[in-house]
Amino acid sequence: MRSGLLLLLLSGGIVPAADGPKIPPAPAGPERIEVPPPPFSDGIFPCTNCHAGMPVDRTRRELTAMHTDIVLKHDETHRWCLDCHDPTNRDFLHLASGERVPFDESYRLCGQCHGEKYRDWRAGVHGRRTGNWNGAKEYLLCAHCHNPHQPRFKPLAPKPAPQRPDRSMK
Amino acid sequence: MTDSEKPSRRMFTASAGAAFAGMVLTACGPKRLYEVPQHKLKASIAEMERRYKEQLGKDIQVSDQGPMPGVHFAFALDISRCIGCRRCVYGCVAENNQSRDPQIHWIRVFSMEKEKGVDFTHADPYYNPPEVPEEGHFYVPVGCQQCENPPCTKVCPTGATWAEKDGIVVIDYDWCIGCRYCMAACPYGARHFNWKAPTIPENEINPHTHYLGNRPRPKGVVEKCTFCIQRSREGRYPACVEVCPVGARKFGNILDPNSEIRYIIEHKRVLVLKEELNTVPRFFYFYAT
Ligand code: SF4
Ligand code: SF4
């Protein structure tokens, strides 16, 4: 009986009106986070369209046939494509443990090295959020703002400076 | 509208009081809004919407939504992220119907030198390089700090400005007589005066407004940031939070222990501007890294 009532309360079945607004807690723990689609270049995904039948070449090398537009400036002395991209199924990324991670959960991959940023992002402190302060929010993936191959944030042209006060009589 | 066609501010207040609100607008300040019978408030807002339609040829919705219980708003801005791009300034202008000419900006972004730290004697709001951020500089956007102990409201002779229960400091433009005492009292330069009738291209007017916020203003009144009262009281983020390309702007309920804003205050290096004045701002600046 008691546990039944508790369950009802927990499920939001009975919410006393005087309780004030219901504010969902900031997400914590390993649940999936809603994000917009990952920022793929046009027509590039699924990667298996081309890679499915190809033998895997694990030698670290400069790519000359395809993907020549990608210039790696992200710890490039230590990192290479297959450190993040899964060699056997190219539609996925992988963690250091070998666990496959879909592109829309790429934050888990980034979070392996950037743990502090990952924590702040989950708490809503790093990165841009849109939507409701007390309801549904949309997160962006790390890759929406930081090109994973060249993550440094690009400078922007500022919007116009304010007008200086006009002291002439008009 | 030219000046001669337009009734003076005081005339307007007087005639509005006489015409439809002798019974409604008897008290001043928040009392006038929250202690009048609901149907009378609704009637005067309907009258206001009708007048806007007549003046602007456009349907404007004016909300009178009050503060939510258990909510006290606060803002935090990440100084280590802001790149000074001014997207927030113009996002705010569009959302909140600020005059384009004469120009009114509720947010002002100051460029400061890293060597000198947060110091307004060396701050430049007119920086204009081809690209930001500039080497050796950081940026501090400043708007209303929504002080919990606001000097601006204390000096108002008509009770036209006050702090709401959710912490937003508001102005009732119908009661502002344009004396500008509040502008002199505000230590942050957050208040702006309509020296002329504001001009906004008709197709750029935001019709989604709040009585105490972004509804179109007449000449001769003071205005300022309201944490986007028309959005935040509906549970949404303010416009500047959503437009900032680096995600430097954070907003939420400081009474909610799980909110972003609480996380920042509890885990980051946080400062307020001019702390020594005891204004107790609800606008925090922080360094995420
Ligand atoms: S939009 Fe963001 S980065 Fe740009 S000036 Fe405003 S707070 Fe700074
Ligand atoms: S920043 Fe200025 S206008 Fe805003 S509440 Fe404080 S004193 Fe008033």
- Minimal-distance CA residue to ligand 1 atom 3: B82
Of B220, B233, B107, the C-alpha closest to B173 is B220
Structure-model confidence comparison of residues A112 and A7, the more confident one: A112
d(CA B49, CA B42): 10
Relative to beta strand B161-163, strand B137-142 is unpaired
Q: What domains appear along chain B, each with residue ranges and CATH number?
A: 5-59 (no CATH), 73-287 (3.30.70.20)
Q: How far is the CA of B249 from the centre of ligand 2 (A)?
A: 19
- Minimal-distance CA residue to ligand 1 atom 1: B244
Neighbours of B141 (CB within 10 A): 23
Non-local CB neighbours of A163 within 8 Å, separated by 6+ positions: B103
Contact (Cβ atoms closer than 8 angstroms) between residue B152 and residue B182? yes
Of A35-44, A61-70, B221-230, give the range with the top mean pLDDT: B221-230
Note whether A162 contacts B126, CB cutoff 8 Å: yes
Tell me the pLDDT tens digit for each residue of B216-232: 999 999 999 999 999 99
Which residues approach ligand 2 with their CB closer than 6 A? Answer: B 144-147, 150-152, 169, 186, 188, 190-191, 224, 279
Dmax of chain B from CA atoms?
Answer: 60
Tell me the pLDDT tens digit for each residue of B190-220: 999 999 999 999 999 999 999 999 999 999 9
Q: How close, in Å, is residue A68 to chain B by CA atoms?
A: 28
Say yes or no to pLDDT of A51 above 50. yes
**Mean pLDDT of all residues in chain A?**
82
Query: Residue B45: phi, psi to the nearest 5?
Result: -70, -40
Q: pTM value?
A: 0.84
Say yes or no to pLDDT of B19 above 70. no
Say yes or no to pLDDT of B90 above 90. yes
Question: B274: which DSSP letter?
Answer: T
In a 3-state reduction of DSSP, which class is residue A100? strand
Q: Which two tokens stand for residue B48?
A: 């206001």
- Minimal-distance CA residue to ligand 1 atom 7: B82
Q: How close, in Å, is residue A150 to chain B by CA atoms?
A: 16
The alpha carbon of residue A163 and the mean position of all alpha carbons in its chain are separated, in whole angstroms, by 38
pLDDT of residue A2: 43
